[in-house]
Structure formats: C-alpha cells, structure tokens
Structure 1
Amino acid sequence: MRRLLLPALPLALLLAATACAGGEEAPEASEQAEESDAGAGGDANAEAGAESDALRAAGGFLASLQAVDGEAGCALIDPAAQNVLVEAHGAADCAEAFPAYAESLPDAEGAEVGEAVMGTDLDGDTPIATVTLVFAGGDDPGALELRQDSDDQWLATRLPGTSLGGA
C-alpha cells in the first residue's frame, strides 16, 4: 500500500498545483469577459436604468400633483422651473404656487405616467428624459422634462402646462 501512495503523492501534488494555477487565471479571464460585456451592453443597461429612475421621478411628481402636495412636488422640480411656477402664480415660493399649478392642469386624479424618451443635453453630458403624462379625457398639457443633476437625482426642468422655462 505504501508503494502505491508514494507514486500517487507527487501526481496528486502536481494536479493540485495545476488546479490552483488554473484557478488564478480563471478570474482574470472572467474579469476581462465582464469588462468586454460591460463595454458592449453597459450603455444599454445604463440607459435602461436611467429611464427607470426618470419614470420613478415622474411618478413621484404625478403623485404630488394628485395629492396637491407642494412640498413633495417642489422637491422634484429644479430651481429655475420652480421660479416659473412662482412667477406664473404670483406666489412667494414654489410650495405656495404648487396648488394653483395643480389646479391649472386637467384632472390629475386618473392621470398616469406614459412613455419616456431618453436623450442628453447638447454636450451629451446630462441625461434628459421627456415623459408623457396621460390625463383622463385625452387632455395634453405637454410633457414633463426631467434632467439628471450632479447628485444623480432626476428633477423636473419643464412642467406640463407651463411656458418654457427651467434649464
């Protein structure tokens, strides 16, 4: 029995060393494959994630319209677009202007978030989503435009039912 173990021991050590060496190369090859996949499909995945985040922000904006919640609604609007609301409704601030803005739109009770069209600013640096809000009765006050800010938050820059303003 000892004779069989001695020749088998170097073979077992050789196999173990080969397996370990092969195991070290596999993660590098796997990392290279992942980097290659990320380059090919990374942009599509990033755009799908951005679209999902923009639609979620649009849903929050619509919920604030339905609840006529100025604090929540204004938290989703960039400062320039807030100023448009303040000026249009003669209010002291966005939260005060928001209820009048909500009332100026078609009935938001049955409204839904529609499709998003993704794009970027002219430099190609800032993601922009133009989201359709579908109001009951087919009224179309215009699209909601959202931009991703430097904190990766989606903020409304153009609001349905207002004149152009914002960023």
Structure 2
Amino acid sequence: MRRFLLFSLPLALALTACGEAESDPSEEGTSAEAAAPDDVAEVEAAARTVAEGFVASLNAEDAEAACAFMDVSAQEAVAALSEGSDDCVEAFPEYAAGLPDAEDVEIEEITTESELDGGVEVVVVTLVHPDEEVGALEMRESEDGEWRATRLPGLSLGGA
C-alpha cells in the first residue's frame, strides 16, 4: 500500500498541475477562472485529487508535498503547532504525528457547499480510519485556479 501511494503522489501532482492546461489556447480570453471546474462532479474530482495527494504525502512522510496541498493559512496553522517554527515543512512531522496511521486513512465522502453569499464553493472531504477519528479536509479554489486545503484534520485553525 505504501509503495502504491508513493507512486501515486507524482500522478496526483501532475493531475492537479495539468488541470488548467486542457483549455483550448486558441480561445481568446481564456483565464484560470474560465478553465476552472464549474460542474459539481469536476469540482469534487479536483478535491479528490488534492485529498489523495495529501493522504499520499502523509503516508510518504513528505512534508514538502503535503504543505503544497495547503493554502497559506493552513500552512501557518501547521507551523503554529511547533514552537519556534514558522515553516509548514519544518513543523509538518509534529502535525502528522498527531494523526492516525496514514496507511489506513481513506476518503469516505466528498460534499460541496457554498459560502453564505453563494459565491465561493467549499468542498469538504471526510477522511476515515478504521480505529481512530481523523476528521475532514476543507478545500477551496485559490486565486490561481488550484484547489488547496484550507482546513486540516486535527486543526481548528487555518482557512478563510
């Protein structure tokens, strides 16, 4: 299982990075907003890719990759866990140590919600473990068109 997740991380990163490249460059006015997923199924697929990459990063103990799946506020929340650290990558092992064994963490449910103003989609990915409560990843699409985790399991801070 660990080997599968190690090999799936580059795929997850590639899929996340390539999502924007699929738009037709001959169309004038193509932007990140125009290419962003607007269909619920596409939004949930993008969120699943990020969640799978995040779980694979946990499993591989790859702090740099895990932090890349987070927005700035979530990275700051992870860094705040470690006294004297202001860097997500440096503090990530301490954060990960407080979570259940990542090898057994699975995605259970993905739900899409809207903020009160109805403008920002929020995707909640519920993570499960057979023996312990994990929590959920909350994700939003960033200004650059990439989906990133804004809230993490085990943290009450982070996010918009």
Same fold flag (TM > 0.5): yes
**Corresponding residue SS for 1:71:** helix
Instruction: For residues 116-158 of structure 1, give each alpha carbon's deviation from its aligned partner in whole angstroms, at most 9, with x where no partner exists.
Output: 1101222222211100111131x11321101111222111111
Q: Residue 68 of structure 2 corresponds to which residue in structure 1?
A: 75
Instruction: For residues 61-95 of structure 1, give each alpha carbon's deviation from its aligned partner in whole angstroms, at most 9, with x where no partner exists.
Output: 11111111111001010101111111112223000
1:68, 1:108 → 2: CA distance?
9
Instruction: Note if 1:146 corresponds to 2:144.
Output: no
Residue type of the partner of 2:96? A
Structure 1 ranges of 4+ moved more than 6 A: none
Alignment: residue pair count: 122
Q: Residue 96 of structure 2 corresponds to which residue in structure 1?
A: 102
Q: Residue 113 of structure 1 corresponds to which residue in structure 2?
A: 107
Q: Residue 31 of structure 2 corresponds to which residue in structure 1?
A: none
How far the C-alpha of 1:50 sits from its partner, in A, is 0.5
- Ranked by relative contact order (alpha carbons within 8 Å, sequence separation 6 or more), the top structure is 2
TM-score scaled by structure 1?
Answer: 0.69
How far the C-alpha of 1:47 sits from its partner, in A, is 0.8
Greater fraction of residues in helix: 1
5+ residue gaps, structure 2, are 1-37
TM-score scaled by structure 2?
Answer: 0.72
How far the C-alpha of 1:54 sits from its partner, in A, is 0.6
Of 28, 46, 54 in structure 2, the residue corresponding to residue 53 of structure 1 is: 46
Q: Residue 12 of structure 1 corresponds to which residue in structure 2?
A: none
RMSD: 1.4
Residue type of the partner of 1:150? E
Preserved CA contact (<8 Å) 2:128 2:134: no
Instruction: For residues 96-129 of structure 1, give each alpha carbon's deviation from its aligned partner in whole angstroms, at most 9, with x where no partner exists.
Output: 1111111110111111112111012222222111
**Identity %, equivalent residues:** 48
5+ residue gaps, structure 1, are 1-44
**Corresponding residue SS for 2:126:** strand
